[in-house]
Each structure stands twice: as structure tokens, then as C-alpha cells.
């Protein structure tokens, strides 16, 4: 009898599974395809001003305080209330993936540009038209937020790294690679733990400029889209860059074991002449060294300016927003000259707005100004989703280079591995 019952239950279940049919849905709601532009234009006709906009802001205290002030001004100007939700920038995509389709998502969210490729693949961001404002941003920033020919987001912040030096040890910042090598040769004494020049050379993010200055590239970029089959990390320029980096280890300038904690510790102790790192270290360094701290753009390599990686953080419009136009207006307003200057003064992040970047507020700050200058020589980090498959192989390659392996061989292997990884990821 038991058998009959269970068989009956199975049959019932099977019938249920096969008989279950699709619920009724509206086919037009929130499509993730490129054609959403067309439907967006259709809605525009109503062009009613929304009562409020929802914005997800990064959960850093300073940034939030600066933005709250700006939002208050915006509400005063336009009458549109702004609801903010603080959420770590890096968690926003995952949350939007769930909240967006459920209708609880924001109109605007805040993202670093190198995640754009992934965001577009998930269909979470709407391409926006910056209109006349497009010319106001620095070229690097616009290049960074352009993906497959469309612009995603209004850039607020640009970020790159530059040279820090200790004026007590190095009176003048090294202008060329040769100067830097001379400093390293002269001042490095590993036995007493003093170093002329330190950087995280085994981290591709920081060592890219020395590849790029010689003509290496990650993915070939033509007309705003990346050709991920064309990887330039084992060409002649890359090998030259790799050999340059290898020479630092071979000459004993930089120890293989360096990591950010150790480097920051040594620099703060005044045991390092020159260090290459990002502006986030300014507060800690200037507290430790006081007026002895100086910053400068990266030294030139064989007469070429070093092409540091530039990161751009921008306001992106959610694909699920019902007020895309109003959200775009807010994003552009937030990133205009006045407001990005205000944001820079209060949150300390470099503005992507060209006029603000060249403005008094930035240039009068001795420690920050070189970073603003370095931006113009920089290359935006590739925003293609395939970039994620680049980091580990190339960082490992840098480690092998540091350990003295043949540069060409190591880089060939790394490129092969990147291609394999990309192939595996796309399967």
C-alpha cells in the first residue's frame, strides 16, 4: 500500500510540474537590452518632476557628510527631495542586482569605473546622455566611463598614484627614471633597513606605468571599446618594463617581501627616500613626516611620461529607475565645477570635472596638485569584464620576475594564462 501512495504522490507531482504554466507578466517592464533607450524616450514625454530621488552613497563618513550638504542644496534649488542610503560602494552592485528588479533600488548609485563592464553585463546601469556637460570632464574620465561606445554615469572623482618623497633624504623629487635609480643606488642599505626607493612593484596596479611608458597595454582600445583578444603584456615594451622592474630587485633596491604595511611603516619612520603610492596615504604620511613630505608626478621613463592607472568613480543611473532623466540631471549637477570642488574640499577626493581639477582649490594644495597633474598622463584601468582575469596571472608574473626568472618567458606564460582564463570564463 505504501508503494501505491508514494507512486501516486510522484505522479501527482509530475503532473503538477508539467502543468504549471507561466504567470502573466508585462513584457515591457524594465528590459535590460540596449533598446531601453527608445522606451526611455517614450516616457520622457510626461517629463514630470519626481517628488524624490533615491541615491545610494558610499558609507564613508566624510563623503556622506559632504554629499548630504550638496543634496540639501539641490532640494532647495529644485524641490526634489533626496533619500540617501549609505552603503559600501563595493556592495552596491550585488544589492542592486536584488533590489533593482524588486523595485526597491535607487535612482543613482556610486561606482568605480572598472566595474562598468560587469554592471552592463548584468543589465543594471542605464547608458546616459551627458549632453553639453560631457566636455566639462577630464578626457581620461570620459574615456573611463565609456563602454562599448556608450557613456555610463557622470564622473565625480578621479584617482591615481604618484611619487611621495621625504625632503630630508631627497631634496628634490626625481624627474626621470635615471634620477630615481641614482637615489636608490645611493641611499639603499638593506642591512640598516634604509631604502632610496620603495613601491609595491609586484602589484600590477602600481607597476603598470613602467610597462605602459614603453608601449605595453592590457587590452587594445579602439574607439571606446576593448579588443580583449589583443593583449599587449608580452610585447617589446612590456619586456623592457619587466626588465626595468627586475633590475630593482637584482640591484637590491626593493626587497621581494615588501608589502603595503611594511612600506608604509618604513616610509613613516623616515627610512625611505621615495615611495610610489596613492593619495589615500597622504594623511598618514604627512602626520608622520610633517613638512618634510613632498609629492610629485611619476618620473619619466626613457623620456615618456609614466602612464599610471587612473580610477574614476561616477554616479550611475539604475536601469530600474523610473526617473532616469531627473536622475541624470542630478548626477550632472553633482559633478559640475562648483559642486565637485565642494566635494573635493570636504571629502578630499580629486574632482573629475576638468575646471575643478585645474581650479584654485586643487592647485593650491601642494600635496594634491601633483596627483591632479599625473591624471592627464594616466590611462584609465580597462573596464572590460575580462580585466578580472588579468590581475592574478600578471601579478604572479611580477612575482616570478622579482625572483629573477626570464622576463619574456614569464610574460608569455602570463598572457597565455590570461587567454586561457578568459576562455574559461566565457564558456
Asked if residue 100 binds other proteins (CB under 8 A), the reply is yes
Near other proteins in 158-187, by CB under 8 A: none
Residues 196-225 that bind other proteins (CB under 8 A): none
Strands 52-57 and 125-126: unpaired
301: which residues sit within 8 A by CB, 6+ positions away?
Answer: 176, 177, 209, 210, 213, 214, 241, 244
Quick one: cell of 97?
542586482
Q: Which lies closer to other proteins via its Cβ, residue 222 or residue 261?
A: 261
Question: Is 425 in contact with 386 (CB distance < 8 Å)?
Answer: yes
Place of cell 638593506: 190
User: What SS3 state is found at 33?
Assistant: coil
Q: Which is nearer to other proteins, 361 or 399 (CB)?
A: 399
Stretch that binds other proteins, among 8-16, 148-156, 212-220, 364-372 (CB under 8 A): 8-16
Query: How far apart are the C-alpha atoms of 101 and 93, rounded to whole Å?
Result: 12
424 scored as a contact of other proteins (CB under 8 A): yes
Q: Which of 80, 262, 288, 355 binds other proteins (CB under 8 A)?
A: 262
Question: Which of 334, 352, 410, 415 touches other proteins (CB under 8 A)?
Answer: 410
Q: How far apart are CA 79 and CA 242, in angstroms?
A: 56
State which of residues 132, 257, 291, 360 lies at the interface with other proteins (CB under 8 A). 257
Contact residue for other proteins among 3, 16, 61, 76 (CB under 8 A): 16
Inter-axis angle of helices 324-334 and 36-44, nearest 10? 90
118 binds other proteins (CB under 8 A): yes
CB of 394 to other proteins, least distance (A): 11
Is residue 396 close enough to count as binding other proteins by CB under 8 A? yes
- The residue among 232 and 255 lying less far from other proteins, judged by its C-beta, is 255
Closest CA to 123 of 27, 225, 30, 226: 30
Q: Give the interface segment with other proteins, choosing from 120-128, 212-220, 245-253, 356-364 (CB under 8 A).
A: 120-128
> 238 vs 362, which CB is nearer to other proteins?
238
26 binds other proteins (CB under 8 A): yes
Does 111 participate in binding other proteins (rule CB under 8 A)?
Answer: no
Cell of 292: 618634510
**How far apart are the C-alpha atoms of 256 and 402, rounded to whole Å?**
6
What are φ and ψ of residue 179, in 5° steps? -60, -45
Cβ proximity of 160 and 309 under 8 Å: yes
Q: Give the C-alpha separation, 143 to 221, whole Å.
A: 10
Of the candidates 294, 315, 298, 303, which has an alpha carbon nearest to the alpha carbon of residue 376? 298
Closest approach, Cβ 39 to other proteins, in A, equals 11
Interface residue list for other proteins (CB under 8 A): 1, 5, 8-9, 13, 16-18, 20-23, 25-27, 29-33, 97, 100-101, 118, 121-124, 255-257, 259, 261-262, 385, 388-389, 391-392, 395-396, 399-400, 403, 405, 410, 413, 416-417, 419-421, 423-427
Amino acid at each position: 500500500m505504501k508503494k501505491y501512495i508514494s507512486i501516486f504522490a510522484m505522479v501527482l507531482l509530475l503532473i503538477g510540474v508539467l502543468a504549471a504554466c507561466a504567470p502573466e507578466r508585462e513584457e515591457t517592464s524594465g528590459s535590460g537590452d540596449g533598446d531601453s533607450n527608445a522606451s526611455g524616450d517614450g516616457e520622457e514625454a510626461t517629463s514630470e518632476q519626481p517628488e524624490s530621488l533615491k541615491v545610494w552613497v558610499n558609507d564613508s563618513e566624510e563623503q556622506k557628510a559632504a554629499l548630504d550638504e550638496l543634496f540639501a542644496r539641490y532640494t532647495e534649488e529644485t524641490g526634489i527631495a533626496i533619500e540617501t542610503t549609505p552603503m559600501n560602494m563595493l556592495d552596491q552592485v550585488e544589492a542592486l542586482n536584488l533590489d533593482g528588479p524588486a523595485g526597491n533600488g535607487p535612482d543613482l548609485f556610486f561606482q568605480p569605473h572598472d566595474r562598468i563592464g560587469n554592471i552592463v553585463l548584468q543589465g543594471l546601469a542605464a547608458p546616459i546622455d551627458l549632453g553639453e556637460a560631457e566636455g566639462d570632464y577630464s578626457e581620461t574620465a570620459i574615456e573611463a566611463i565609456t563602454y562599448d561606445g556608450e557613456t555610463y554615469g557622470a564622473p565625480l572623482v578621479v584617482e591615481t598614484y604618484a611619487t611621495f618623497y621625504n625632503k630630508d633624504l631627497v631634496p628634490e623629487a626625481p624627474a626621470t627614471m635615471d634620477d630615481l635609480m641614482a637615489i636608490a643606488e645611493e641611499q639603499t642599505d638593506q642591512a640598516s633597513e634604509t631604502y632610496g626607493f620603495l613601491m609595491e612593484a609586484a602589484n600590477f596596479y602600481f607597476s603598470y606605468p613602467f610597462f605602459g611608458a614603453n608601449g605595453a597595454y592590457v587590452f587594445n582600445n579602439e574607439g571606446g571599446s576593448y579588443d580583449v583578444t589583443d593583449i599587449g603584456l608580452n610585447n617589446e615594451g612590456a619586456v623592457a618594463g619587466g626588465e626595468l622592474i627586475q633590475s630593482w630587485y637584482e640591484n637590491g633596491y626593493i626587497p621581494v617581501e615588501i608589502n603595503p604595511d611594511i612600506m608604509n611603516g618604513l616610509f613613516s619612520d623616515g627610512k625611505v627616500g621615495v615611495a610610489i603610492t596613492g593619495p589615500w596615504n597622504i594623511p598618514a604620511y604627512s602626520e608622520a613626516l610633517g613638512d618634510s613630505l613632498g609629492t610629485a608626478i611619476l618620473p619619466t621613463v626613457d623620456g615618456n611620461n609614466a602612464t599610471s592607472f587612473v580610477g574614476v568613480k561616477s554616479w550611475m543611473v539604475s536601469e530600474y529607475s523610473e526617473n532616469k532623466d531627473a536622475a541624470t540631471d542630478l548626477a550632472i549637477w553633482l559633478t559640475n565645477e562648483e559642486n565637485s570642488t565642494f566635494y573635493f574640499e570636504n571629502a578630499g577626493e580629486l574632482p573629475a570635472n576638468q575646471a575643478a581639477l585645474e581650479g584654485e582649490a586643487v592647485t593650491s594644495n601642494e600635496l594634491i596638485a601633483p596627483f591632479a597633474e599625473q591624471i592627464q598622463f594616466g590611462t584609465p584601468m580597462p573596464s572590460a569584464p575580462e580585466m578580472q582575469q588579468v590581475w592574478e596571472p600578471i601579478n604572479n608574473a611580477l612575482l616570478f620576475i622579482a625572483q629573477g626568472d626570464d622576463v619574456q618567458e614569464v610574460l608569455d606564460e602570463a598572457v597565455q594564462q590570461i587567454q586561457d582564463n578568459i576562455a574559461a570564463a566565457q564558456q
